[in-house]
Amino acid sequence: MYAVLDRYATSSLLSQAENIYNPSMSRAHSLYRLQEIDLTLDKNNARIEEIQKRLKDSEKLKQAKGYQTQALETLRKTQVVLKSAEHAVESQRSKIEETEAILYRGTIKNPKELQDLQMEVEALKRYSDTLEDRLLDVMVEFEQVELDYETAQKNLATIEKAREAEHSELNIEQQNLIEENERLNVNREAALVSVSEEDDKLYKQIRQRQGGIAVAILEKDGTCSMCGLSPSASQQQLIRSGTQIEQCNQCRRILYSG
Ligand SMILES: [Zn+2]
Same domain? 115 vs 158: yes
State which amino acid sits at residue 125. K
Q: Does residue 224 contact residue 231 with C-beta atoms inside 8 Å?
A: yes
pLDDT lower than 50: segments of the chain: 1-21
Q: What is the pLDDT of residue 20?
A: 45
Q: What is the pLDDT of residue 24?
A: 62
Q: Separation of 253 CA from ligand 1 center, angstroms?
A: 6
Residue ranges making up the domain that contains 52: 2-56+196-256
Number of domains in the chain: 2
Q: Separation of 46 CA from ligand 1 center, angstroms?
A: 25
d(C-alpha 15, C-alpha 21), whole Å: 11
d(C-alpha 95, C-alpha 250), whole Å: 99
Q: What is the pLDDT of residue 11?
A: 43
Q: What is the pLDDT of residue 12?
A: 43
d(C-alpha 88, C-alpha 97), whole Å: 14
The residue among 173, 207, 240 that closes a domain is 173
CA-wise closest residue to 72 among 147, 144, 149: 149
Any bridge partners for residue 255, and if so which? Answer: 216
Q: Separation of 189 CA from ligand 1 center, angstroms?
A: 27
Q: Separation of 250 CA from ligand 1 center, angstroms?
A: 5
Q: Separation of 219 CA from ligand 1 center, angstroms?
A: 11
Q: Separation of 221 CA from ligand 1 center, angstroms?
A: 14
Q: Separation of 258 CA from ligand 1 center, angstroms?
A: 15
Q: Is residue 187 part of a domain?
A: no
Q: Residue 209: CA atoms inside 13 Å, Cβ hemisphere, count?
A: 12
Q: What is the pLDDT of residue 39?
A: 98
**The pTM is what?**
0.75
Q: What is the pLDDT of residue 17?
A: 45
Q: Separation of 154 CA from ligand 1 center, angstroms?
A: 57
